[in-house]
Chains A and B, each alone.
Chain A
Amino acid sequence: DQQVKQNSPSLSVQEGRISILNCDYTNSMFDYFLWYKKYPAEGPTFLISISSIKDKNEDGRFTVFLNKSAKHLSLHIVPSQPGDSAVYFCAASEGSSNTGKLIFGQGTTLQVKP
Chain B
Amino acid sequence: DSGVTQTPKHLITATGQRVTLRCSPRSGDLSVYWYQQSLDQGLQFLIQYYNGEERAKGNILERFSAQQFPDLHSELNLSSLELGDSALYFCASSVVPTRYNEQFFGPGTRLTVL
Task: Mark A residues whose CB is within 8 Å of B.
Answer: 4, 6, 9, 32, 36, 41-46, 89, 91, 93, 97-107
Contact = CB atoms under 8 A, between A and B. Distances in A.
B42 A100 contact: no
A46 B102 contact: yes
B55 A99 contact: yes
Cβ-closest 10 pairs across A and B: A43-B105, A99-B56, A104-B42, A93-B99, A104-B43, A106-B42, A101-B56, A46-B102, A44-B105, A105-B42
Interface of B: 2, 4, 31, 33, 35, 40-45, 48, 55-56, 58, 90, 92, 94, 97-108
A1 B12 CA distance: 29
Contact of A106 (B33, B41, B55, B102): B41
Contact of B101 (A41, A100, A106): A100
Contact of B98 (A41, A43, A45, A98): A98
B102 to A, nearest CB: 5
Given A99-B55, A102-B103, 18 more contacts: A36-B105, A42-B107, A43-B2, A43-B4, A43-B90, A43-B92, A43-B106, A45-B2, A45-B104, A45-B105, A89-B43, A93-B99, A100-B31, A100-B98, A101-B48, A102-B43, A102-B45, A105-B42
A interface, over-half SS: loop
A29 B107 CA distance: 30
B97 A99 contact: yes
A97 B99 contact: yes
Nearest to B45: A101
Contact of B108 (A43, A46, A91, A101): A43
22 contacts: A4-B42, A32-B99, A41-B107, A43-B104, A44-B105, A46-B104, A89-B42, A89-B43, A93-B99, A99-B97, A100-B33, A100-B56, A100-B97, A100-B99, A101-B48, A101-B99, A102-B103, A103-B45, A104-B45, A105-B42, A106-B40, A106-B42
